[in-house]
Amino acid sequence: MRLLNRSTHHVELTPAGAAFLVEARQILDHVGRAAHAARNTAGSPPTLRAGIVDASYDTMPQILRAVQRRHPELTIHQIEAGAPEQYRQLADGRLEIGIGHASQPSPSVASELIRLDPLGVLVPATHRFATQDGVPVAALAEERLLLGEETQTPEFNQFVGELCGSVGFVPTVYEGTVESNRAAADLVLQQRCVLCVPASSRTSSRPGTVWRPLIEPVPLYPWSLLWRAGDPSPYVAAVIDAARQIAGRLGWLETADPPADLPGHLASSETAPAVSDDRPS
């Protein structure tokens, strides 16, 4: 059976080769998951691989700290990845839990809304918005907006685009791209653009910049926990339970619902796995 077609200039897969590659990758993924499960059941210290969108956001770190306090035996690995990559890693077993906008319905990934995060705009301290208590969304029409790298944060870019469209304009997008909120804040500081960013980002306290909430309307970015549907892991359940407790204590879901025509209103949740009485503190 021929798997490759070779010529003087290139090598390409035959249809049989392409089918073989797909199956081989699935086998390797299953082997990795089996090895991870074997290590955890053979007395090795338990581990949890948790996805985070950007190191500057405080939602998942707060949750993981609570889990770690309750389960000191657990080794937690934080893996920085955009929501699309987290979906892929959850599906193939490289992640146990993640966080992001649950905008990609998938039968293999369950989700639960845990936070409605007010969206604001980060500007230089000398910017005209800096003295305002709130910035009307329509005022962004006069600014260059920095969006995230499309392969990493397409759901956030779509959220911002739909928000601008809801008040009648298409945003002027800054042509450059960055891969972290910290790098984005550097561009804001240089007065090249402004950045829409949720309140939960610690980037909003960057010296020389000012974060102001958006109003008219008030947009709320929906953060959801993401995990493999049917995952029986007690540590995944512990993360979900800790998130519910923190959300209740800090009022993450108490903010008034956004208008029905805004993308944040579309966030949904699915049933979480059962949580034992051994709750994180």
Mean pLDDT of the chain: 84
Rg (CA), the chain: 21
Query: Does the structural domain 14-115+221-266 have CATH classification 2.40.50.700?
Result: no
* pTM attached to this predicted model: 0.75
Q: What value does the mean pLDDT take over residues 81-101?
A: 94
Burial of 179 (0-12, 13-18, 19+ CB in 10 A): middle
pLDDT band at 44 (very low <50, low <70, confident <90, very high): confident
Q: What value does the mean pLDDT take over residues 234-259?
A: 88
Asked if omega into 154 is within 30° of 0 (cis), the reply is no
pLDDT band at 257 (very low <50, low <70, confident <90, very high): very low
Q: Name the CATH topology of 119-220.
A: D-Maltodextrin-Binding Protein; domain 2 (3.40.190)
- Under 8 Å between Cβ of 36 and 26: no
Structure tokens at 15: 């249809």
What number of residues does the chain have?
Answer: 281
Q: What value does the mean pLDDT take over residues 191-214?
A: 89
Q: What pLDDT score was predicted for residue 262?
A: 42
Q: What pLDDT score was predicted for residue 258?
A: 41
pLDDT band at 81 (very low <50, low <70, confident <90, very high): very high
Same fold: 14-115+221-266 with 119-220: yes
Partners of 120 in the β-ladder: 197, 213
Q: Decide if pLDDT at 256 tops 90.
A: no
Q: What value does the mean pLDDT take over residues 38-44?
A: 56
Q: What value does the mean pLDDT take over residues 16-38?
A: 59
- Under 8 Å between Cβ of 147 and 172: no
Q: What is the largest CA-CA distance in the chain?
A: 70
| Number of other residues whose CB lies within 10 A of the CB of residue 220 | 24
Of 14-18, 75-79, 173-177, least confident by mean pLDDT is 14-18
Q: What is the rounded CA–CA span in Å between residue 189 and residue 194? A: 9
Partners of 13 in the β-ladder: 4
Residue percentage of the chain with pLDDT more than 90: 63
Q: What pLDDT score was predicted for residue 202?
A: 72
- Under 8 Å between Cβ of 209 and 72: no
- The residue ranges of every structural domain in the chain are 14-115+221-266, 119-220
Q: What pLDDT score was predicted for residue 178?
A: 86
State the DSSP code for 118. Answer: E
Q: What pLDDT score was predicted for residue 32?
A: 52
Q: What pLDDT score was predicted for residue 210?
A: 94
Q: What pLDDT score was predicted for residue 151?
A: 86
DSSP 3-state percent helix, strand, coil across the chain (nearest 5): 35, 25, 40
Q: What pLDDT score was predicted for residue 220?
A: 97
Query: Which secondary structure element, helix H or strand E, spans residue 194, and what is its range?
Result: strand 194-198
Q: Decide if pLDDT at 163 tops 50.
A: yes
Q: Decide if pLDDT at 41 tops 60.
A: no
Q: Decide if pLDDT at 276 tops 50.
A: no
